[in-house]
Amino acid sequence: MEKELFSTALGLAEPVYIDEIVFDQSEGALHIHMDFRRGGKFACSECGSEGLPVYDTVKKTWRHLNFWQYKTYIHMRTPRTSCRKCGERLWIPPWGREDSGFTQLFEAFVMALAKEMPISGIADLVGEHDTRAWRIVRHHVDRAYAKKNFAQVSSVGCDETSSRKGHNYVTVFADMQSKEVVFATKGKDSGTVKAFAEELAEHAAQPEQIKEVAMDMSPAFIRGVSELLPEASITFDKFHVIQALNKAQDEVRRTEQKMNPLLTSTRYIWLKNPENLTAKQKGLLETLRHENLKTARVYQMKMTFQDIYRNVVEPEAAEEAIKKWLAWAARSRLEPIKRFARMVKTHFPGIIRYFTTGLTSGTMEGINSRIQGIKRRARGFRNIDNFIAMIYLEAAGLKMDLPT
């Protein structure tokens, strides 16, 4: 009776049958012993040729889903077939896969949990070492990722993140249309773009199909993209541009504050968007703006630059407005602002490109916050490849080929 139940549950078919079920009270484990009938024929696991005789057998054990609180193991003298084309091959039973000591259902269970729980927690739950749990995750993520097709990807964003604060950088490339991660790799240098360009070939895609790349002004990414994604136009993220301008503004304020006590403790008033200030801060800002302050002048310049991003629609109009702004900056006699203006000049096409593509780092930030979620959940990844596997599992839209 219970043999029949287990046979159905495991999808057994002749010539394989359950020989014996042993419940070991002392170790709290259930052992299912399989066997196959004498003269049974099997398929070659390499080419699929059926009806092959058994050459010899290898004893194997698989951990299966717990039966209640009891660890459950399947044991079998597993046949090796002798195939004319492939030689001797180990038969792969319907409950397992090659090179795994776990059944497919057990692995499906681990993968279902991996999206919600830290891997170390899953390992504790199922009573396995976490390196074994990681091996399961890595195997299924790798397999699902290998099947991804990137033929339609033409617009990507790239950004860096780290597995821990300030350590182990990972560069992430995402499809700006599907908002899914298409590639993640170690490092934050131009080599990451090379790795991305090479990976495309594994997914029915090629570097030439990438027409747009959104990113910050990292020189390494710029060099990588211009060398290795020959058809791509770069859009520099507007938030990064404004951030650089904010930095210049803050530099001016810090220098001026040394001579002018009016500016003490006003840093955030100048940095925040006016709509995010309290009534009291707004009042102070209005007062300060009418003082003859360099900081107030720079603040006005920043507001004007932000207005270009906010209000200008046509690329030609934006080009004209920014050029006008640059002339103003050149006359400012403020070194941090002149330095910012030079940066805008050297990155001009990519800054103007925003007014054509409308690409921002919003998508990348969305992905980044999901990655932060993985990091919060994890109690460490052991290594960076595990971290990358978790990024794919979380944000690459993988389709797992596992029983449900």
Q: Which residues bind Zn ion (CB under 5 A)?
A: 44, 46-47, 49, 83, 85-86
Distances in whole angstroms, Cα of residue 394 to Cα of each of 115, 154, 367: 7, 22, 9
Per-residue DSSP letters for 318-384?
HHHHHHHHHHHHHTS--HHHHHHHHHHHHTHHHHHTHHHH---THHHHHHHHHHHHHHHH-S--SSH
- Is it true that the peptide bond before 207 is cis, omega within 30 degrees of 0? no
CB of 97 to Zn ion, least distance (A): 17
Which segments within 26-94 are labelled E, that is strand? 29-36, 54-67, 70-83, 87-90
DSSP 8-state assignment for residue 41? -
CB of 57 to Zn ion, least distance (A): 18
Specify the residue, 46 or 256, whose C-beta has the smaller distance to Zn ion.
Answer: 46
CB of 84 to Zn ion, least distance (A): 7
CB of 79 to Zn ion, least distance (A): 14
CB of 199 to Zn ion, least distance (A): 31
d(CA 226, CA 195): 14
Specify the residue, 87 or 94, whose C-beta has the smaller distance to Zn ion.
Answer: 87
CB of 48 to Zn ion, least distance (A): 7
Max CA pair span of the chain: 99
Query: Tokens 């696991």 identify what position?
Result: 45
Length of the chain as a residue count: 404
Specify the residue, 91 or 392, whose C-beta has the smaller distance to Zn ion.
Answer: 91
CB of 90 to Zn ion, least distance (A): 12
Specify the residue, 46 or 365, whose C-beta has the smaller distance to Zn ion.
Answer: 46
d(CA 264, CA 254): 9
Specify the residue, 52 or 395, whose C-beta has the smaller distance to Zn ion.
Answer: 52
Specify the residue, 86 or 117, whose C-beta has the smaller distance to Zn ion.
Answer: 86
C-beta of residue 61 within 8 angstroms of C-beta of residue 41 = no
d(CA 133, CA 127): 10
Specify the residue, 80 or 302, whose C-beta has the smaller distance to Zn ion.
Answer: 80
C-beta of residue 250 within 8 angstroms of C-beta of residue 272 = no
